[in-house]
């Protein structure tokens, strides 16, 4: 399909766009609040910058991935740039390093903000969409887990507890106000939560809140309630949870044509996608098409540990057994947004496919 025609029918939702050259190599990746407006800007005007002109001259095609929010587009752009290393991204954009939260491997580990080259000996959690989000999360973590955030030079120089201890934001391991074992447990619980396995942490805080209510200690119950709210806030902002490997498969249909979007998620990050238009599927229900598609697509391949589907299949158990994977058709909140992104992208790809087919028939 000609680029101009493709632009005319492009989605106006947020997302990521990928520019391809004659060899079908990704040469540039960008994000957009409005995909149609942003992608069109490359072709609708003369660019003064020589590097941008060179990029546009080499664009022979483009693809888009629709997202729900600009934040998702921002993070996905970063991951795709790391994966493909497009030559024009290096020339046109500063290599933006996204912020992380990290935990050191000291005797009494420290939790803090981090941006830059990672130290392999430390635990890293993220990336987060902005430094502001990281600082807010650290502030909440300090109130909940009370793990030290001071620098090692300050930590080593202490002979008595600092103000953080006095106001209840640190347990002062520097001067032995907490045992090494208990401090280690606090660090482990915080690490567990930041790893995306926070259900256990949330359950424990919830139990404490309920017990405080039973004891009629409503002030303490309110304190635990605030902790729960804080933990859930961090969980929603934390965009790189350790969810393992999975493929997200969404199917949409229009005018008798089906589009199956397969989105690849590895270690909680979206790393790529593929859209397939199954043949001879006219008149079939989407769940029937998907049941036939999955074995054809995955048998003989390394199937991920989980398949997240947009349809509930009648032969779900049979297919899961044949592919040696777990099929999820009712996702929890931490996976639901991946399915929504796959569905939005499938709808966009199907729209472009139908327009292209109509154009060819009209010629």
Kindly report, residue by residue over 300-328, the tens digit of the pLDDT: 777 888 999 999 998 899 899 888 899 99
What is the DSSP secondary-structure string of 191-216?
A: HHHHTT-THHHHHHHHHHHHHHHHTT
Residue 239 has pLDDT above 60, yes or no: no
For residues 110 and 219, state if they share a domain: yes
pLDDT value of residue 217: 86
Give pLDDT, residue 188: 85
Does 250 lie in the same domain as 145? no
Q: What is the mean pLDDT of residues 87-113?
A: 76
pLDDT at 271 over 80: no
C-alpha to C-alpha distance for 243 and 80, rounded to whole angstroms:
19
- The pLDDT value recorded for residue 141 is 86
Q: Which of 17-21, 49-53, 177-181, 218-222 has the highest mean pLDDT?
A: 17-21
CA distance 335 to 308: 8
**Mean pLDDT, the chain, as a whole number?**
85
Q: What is the mean pLDDT of residues 66-94?
A: 76
189/258 same-domain check: no
241 pLDDT band, cuts 50/70/90, is: very low
Beta strand 306-309 with 61-66 is: unpaired
Q: Provide the 8-state DSSP code for 119.
A: P
What is the rounded CA–CA span in Å between residue 62 and residue 121? 40
CA pair distance 219, 215, nearest whole angstrom: 11
Residue 10 has pLDDT above 60, yes or no: yes
Which pLDDT score is estimated for 104?
Answer: 95
State the pLDDT confidence band at 329, using cuts at 50, 70 and 90.
very high
Does residue 9 or residue 268 have the better pLDDT?
A: 9
What's the pLDDT score for residue 163?
93
Looking at per-residue pLDDT, the higher value among 135 and 148 belongs to 148
Q: Tell me: pLDDT of 177 over 70.
A: yes
User: Are 44 and 130 contained in the same domain?
Assistant: no
Distance CA 217, CA 130 (A): 38
Q: What is the pLDDT of residue 143?
A: 85
Residues 276 and 345 in one domain: yes
- The average pLDDT across 109-115 equals 91
152 and 112 within one domain = yes
Question: What is the predicted pLDDT for the residue at 237?
Answer: 55
Question: pTM for this structure?
Answer: 0.49
Q: Is the pLDDT of residue 192 over 60?
A: yes
Number of domains the chain is built from: 3
- Specify whether the CB–CB gap between 78 and 96 falls below 8 A: yes
Do 228 and 283 share a domain, yes or no? Answer: no
Please check whether residues 229 and 155 belong to one and the same domain.
yes
Q: What is the DSSP string of 269-313?
A: EEEEEEEE--SS-TT--HHHHHHHHHHHHHTTS---SEEEESS--
What number of helices (H) and strands (E) belong to the chain? 14, 11
Helices (H), the chain: 3-8, 35-44, 50-58, 70-84, 87-92, 131-145, 152-157, 163-166, 180-194, 199-214, 218-237, 286-298, 316-323, 333-362
d(CA 333, CA 323): 25
Instruction: Find the CATH number of the domain harbouring 300.
Output: 3.30.420.10
My answer on whether 288 and 161 are in the same domain is no
283: containing domain: 246-362
Out of 72, 92, 112, pick the residue that ends a domain: 92
Binning pLDDT at 50, 70 and 90, where does residue 77 land?
Answer: confident
Indicate if the pLDDT at residue 209 is higher than 60: yes
Of 204, 237, 270, which residue sits at a domain end? 237
Percent of the chain whose pLDDT exceeds 90: 41
Q: How far apart are the first and last CA of the chain?
A: 12
Does residue 61 sit in the same domain as residue 108? no
Region 56-67 average pLDDT: 93
CATH number at residue 34: 3.40.1440.10
The mean pLDDT of 39-54, rounded to a whole number, is: 82
Predicted local confidence at residue 267, as pLDDT: 66
Percent of the chain, pLDDT > 70?
92
pLDDT at site 318: 87
Q: What band does 240 get if pLDDT is binned at 50, 70 and 90?
A: very low
Is pLDDT of 93 > 60?
no
Which residue, 41, 57, 92, sits at the end of a domain?
Answer: 92
pLDDT at position 129 is: 59
In a shared domain, residues 279 and 352? yes
* Strand order across the beta sheet in which 15-20 lies: 26-32, 15-20, 61-66
| Same domain flag for 233 and 118 | yes
Q: What is the pLDDT of residue 249?
A: 96
């Amino acid at each position: 399909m000609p680029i101009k025609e493709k632009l005319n029918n492009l989605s106006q939702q947020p997302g990521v766009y990928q520019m391809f050259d004659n060899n079908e190599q990704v040469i540039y990746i960008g994000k957009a609040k409005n995909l149609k407006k942003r992608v069109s800007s490359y072709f609708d005007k003369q660019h003064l910058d020589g590097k941008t002109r060179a990029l546009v001259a080499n664009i022979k095609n483009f693809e888009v991935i629709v997202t729900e929010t600009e934040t998702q587009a921002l993070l996905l752009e970063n991951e795709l740039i790391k994966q493909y290393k497009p030559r024009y991204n290096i020339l046109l954009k500063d290599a933006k390093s996204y912020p992380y939260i990290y935990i050191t491997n000291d005797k009494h580990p420290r939790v803090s903000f981090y941006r830059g080259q990672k130290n392999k000996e430390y635990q890293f959690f993220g990336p987060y969409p902005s430094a502001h989000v990281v600082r807010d999360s650290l502030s909440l973590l300090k109130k909940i887990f009370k793990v030290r955030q001071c620098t090692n030079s300050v930590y080593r120089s202490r002979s008595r507890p600092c103000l953080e201890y006095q106001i209840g934001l640190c347990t002062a391991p520097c001067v032995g106000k907490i045992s090494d074992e208990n401090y280690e447990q606090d660090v482990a619980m915080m690490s567990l939560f930041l790893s995306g396995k926070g259900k256990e942490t949330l359950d424990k805080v919830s139990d404490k809140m309920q017990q405080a209510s039973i004891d009629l200690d409503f002030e303490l119950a309110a304190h635990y309630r605030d902790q729960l709210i804080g933990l859930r806030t961090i969980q929603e902002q934390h965009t790189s949870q350790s969810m393992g490997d999975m493929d997200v498969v969404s199917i949409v249909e229009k005018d008798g044509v089906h589009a199956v979007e397969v989105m690849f998620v590895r270690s909680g990050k979206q790393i790529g996608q593929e859209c397939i238009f199954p043949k001879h599927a006219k008149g079939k229900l989407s769940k029937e098409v998907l049941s036939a598609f999955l074995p054809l697509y995955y048998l003989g391949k390394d199937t991920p540990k989980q398949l997240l589907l947009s349809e509930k299949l009648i032969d779900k158990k049979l297919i899961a057994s044949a592919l040696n994977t777990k099929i999820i058709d009712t996702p929890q909140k931490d996976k639901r947004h991946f399915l929504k992104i796959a569905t939005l992208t499938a709808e966009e790809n199907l729209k472009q496919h139908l327009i292209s087919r109509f154009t060819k028939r009209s010629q």
